């Protein structure tokens, strides 16, 4: 799968799957799937429709910047339930990366050098090692991880099949279920409405595993 089709899959996940994106683009789901099946680039009419949705075409073509041109396209509706406030005097602060998942970090910037805030939260047994990042999209909604949540992960060296991980794939931050088959092929699985996995090419793709998922929560910041 070429880079543009990988990013098209990310757009589909943001909208809830290929049928939902096809509806947005006013085309049949089978027509949209055909791009993946034939491994070909989008036609000009489909590209124009993506641009009208607010997709940043520099990101789509070259991986530069964020998925959307306008920040408000990536924000979820304000959710007021399941929010817990903590007393900062009794808890250690946890680093929360400002850039959301699905954003492109580029090749020259370390993930750990990205802008961040420090929040008084109690997550896991070793909160000093936990890092948070805001979720963009609903590709793991069947696991209760939805757009707008803060997902927390702990840096680890080794991960196992079926584990939810935070990764950087070709510069894009993703939260996925990790899978590696007997032949060594790595697949990053979603959990939403039949969204196909992202197959990582050992030669062409650059994959960095940031850590293992610890939980996701809704917070007001």
Give residue-wise pLDDT tens across range 136-158. 888 888 888 888 888 888 888 78
Whether the model clears a pTM of 0.85, i.e. scores above it, the answer is: no
Same domain, 34 and 117: no
Same domain, 130 and 54: no
Same domain, 106 and 185: yes
Separation CA 57–CA 96 (nearest Å): 28
Q: How far apart are the first and last CA of the chain?
A: 36
For position 150, which CATH number holds? 2.10.109.10
49: containing domain: 3-73
Cβ atoms of residues 173 and 165 within 8 Å: no
What pairs with residue 119 in β-bridges?
94
Same domain, 64 and 145: no
Give residue-wise pLDDT tens across range 47-85. 888 888 888 888 888 877 777 765 434 333 322 233 333
Same domain, 167 and 119: yes
Same domain, 27 and 121: no
Asked whether residue 51 is domain-assigned, the answer is: yes
- The 3-class SS string of 13-56 reads HHHCCHHHHHHHCCCCHHHHHHHHHHCCCCCHHHHHHHHHCCEC
Helix (H, G, I), strand (E, B) or coil at 100: coil
Same domain, 68 and 24: yes
The values of phi and psi at residue 162, to 5°, are: 90, -10
Residues 212-219, mean pLDDT to the nearest whole number: 80
Asked whether residue 78 is domain-assigned, the answer is: no
Asked whether residue 201 is domain-assigned, the answer is: yes
Domain count, the chain: 2
Asked whether residue 184 is domain-assigned, the answer is: yes
Asked whether residue 195 is domain-assigned, the answer is: yes
Domain-terminating residue out of 38, 73, 108: 73
Same domain, 104 and 57: no
The values of phi and psi at residue 153, to 5°, are: -140, 160
Cβ atoms of residues 152 and 123 within 8 Å: yes
Left if phi > 0, otherwise alpha if psi is -120 to 50, otherwise beta: which for 128?
alpha
More confident residue, 15 or 138: 138
Same domain, 57 and 132: no
């Amino acid at each position: 799968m070429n880079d543009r089709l990988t990013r098209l899959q990310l757009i589909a996940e943001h909208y809830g799957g290929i049928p939902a994106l096809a509806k947005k683009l006013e085309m049949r789901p089978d027509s949209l799937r055909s791009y993946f099946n034939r491994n070909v680039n989008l036609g000009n009419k489909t590209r124009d429709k993506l641009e009208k949705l607010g997709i940043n075409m520099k990101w789509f073509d070259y991986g530069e910047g964020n998925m959307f041109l306008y920040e408000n396209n990536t924000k979820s509706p304000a959710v007021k339930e399941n929010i817990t406030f903590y007393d900062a005097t009794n808890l250690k602060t946890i680093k929360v990366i400002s850039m959301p998942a699905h954003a492109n970090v580029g090749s020259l910037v370390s993930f750990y050098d990205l802008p961040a805030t420090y929040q008084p939260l109690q997550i896991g047994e070793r909160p000093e090692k936990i890092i948070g990042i805001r979720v963009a999209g609903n590709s793991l909604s069947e696991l209760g991880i939805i757009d707008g949540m803060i997902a927390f992960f702990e840096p680890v060296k080794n991960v196992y099949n079926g584990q939810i991980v935070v990764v950087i794939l070709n510069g894009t931050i993703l939260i996925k279920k990790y899978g590696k088959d007997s032949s060594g092929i790595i697949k990053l699985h979603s959990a939403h409405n039949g969204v196909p996995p992202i197959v990582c090419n050992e030669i062409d793709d650059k994959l960095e595993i940031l850590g293992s998922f610890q939980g996701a929560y809704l917070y007001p910041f």
